[in-house]
Amino acid sequence: MTGRSHWWAVAHEADIPAAKPVPAKVGDLAVVLFRDGAGEIRALEDRCAHRRAPLSLGVVTPEGLVQCPYHGWRYDGSSGKCRAIPNLSSEEKVPGNF
């Protein structure tokens, strides 16, 4: 997220459900915690790249991506990259910088 090499305890593992993102704070940084498709806990900044909507208000898809509640953009917790944008056609790809 920020390139820091520190670990911060922000929640108990048992408090992170499989299908619901959870908001947390790391200092003054808002993060979203969720479980990916393998059940691993992931953390991203709690904002969508599109309209900055809080990802913690969205859902976790069956594939383990966190989905924005606003327009449905989906993010991969291992890289933070946007993996799906619902309004793109099948020929269009998600831009690499999202």
Q: How far apart are CA 91 and CA 43, in angstroms?
A: 30
Mean pLDDT of residues grouped by 10 in the chain (98 residues)?
68 91 93 95 94 94 95 94 90 81
Q: Which two tokens stand for residue 4?
A: 């820091």
The 8-class DSSP code of residue 35 comes to E
Q: How confident is the model at residue 14, as a pLDDT?
A: 92
Give the residue among 25, 43, 46, 24 at the shortest CA–CA distance from 34.
Answer: 43
Residue 79: the pLDDT is 92
Cβ-based burial of 68 (10 A; exposed 0-12, middle 13-18, buried ≥19): buried
**pLDDT of res. 2:** 53
